[in-house]
Structure 1
Amino acid sequence: MMRTMTVSLSQQQASRVQQAVESGAYASNSEVVRDALRLWEQREEIRALELAKLKRAYDEGMASGAVRPVDAEALLEKFKDKALKRG
């Protein structure tokens, strides 16, 4: 079942919707908006997955043990040495 809604768009947004329909890429304004909402939903799903991944990494880091100091310059040198050895 489709539900009718009133949506306010800026002049530029309305113009882009109209261009999409006039170009034949979409059959109607509603089709453009539905496609835009599908893309938004996909982006939100990806964002939620990424956030969950970051939370897991944070939790794993917190559970990995006590914090220890790191000498940034020594660590950088170590990485450079490894990179040179790999060629």
Structure 2
Amino acid sequence: MGQVDKRSITLSPELAQAVDDVVAAGEYASASEVIRDALRQWKDRRDLFGYTVDELRKLVQEGIDSGPALEGPPIIERARAKYLKMAEAKGFEE
């Protein structure tokens, strides 16, 4: 594993019990292994799907600037009618 940076963490009783349960079930050899695995998964998810706070603020502002929301069902119905008409014009049937 190389160099290890030792840390102390505090868990809620529920999380501590969950860690103890998976160690007792033999899924992990130790509580440290459970925490390392959880942190690896968190880091992977954050690296793949995470946004910075500034990116989130920009996305929220883009949504606000785009104007009021439109009702979904009428838009879907218009799209369905449009593409049904196009399919009928090409000889396709439903």
TM class, shorter-length:
0.5 to 0.7
Residue 42 of structure 1 aligns to a residue in which SS?
A: helix
Matched, 1:40 2:67: no
The answer for unaligned runs of 5 or more in structure 2 is 63-70
Displacement over 3 Å in runs of 4+: 72-76
**Cα RMSD for the two superposed structures:** 2.7
How many pairs were matched up? 67
Give the structure, 1 or 2, with the largest relative contact order (CA under 8 Å, sep 6 or more).
1
Q: How far off its partner does 1:75 sit?
A: 8.3
Return the TM-score normalized by structure 2: 0.58
- The superposition leaves residues 8-48 of structure 1 with CA deviations (integer Å, 9 ceiling, x where unpaired) of 00000000000010000000000000000011011101223
Instruction: Identify the residue that residue 4 of structure 1 maps to in structure 2.
Output: 6
Matched, 1:80 2:80: yes
Return the TM-score normalized by structure 1: 0.62
Q: How far off its partner does 1:76 sit?
A: 4.9
Instruction: Identify the residue that residue 65 of structure 2 maps to in structure 1.
Output: none
Counterpart selection for 1:29 from 25, 28, 31: 31
Residue 45 of structure 1 aligns to a residue in which SS?
A: helix
Q: State the percentage of identical aligned residues.
A: 31
In 2, the alpha carbon distance for the partners of 1:75 and 1:4 equals 55
The answer for unaligned runs of 5 or more in structure 1 is 59-71
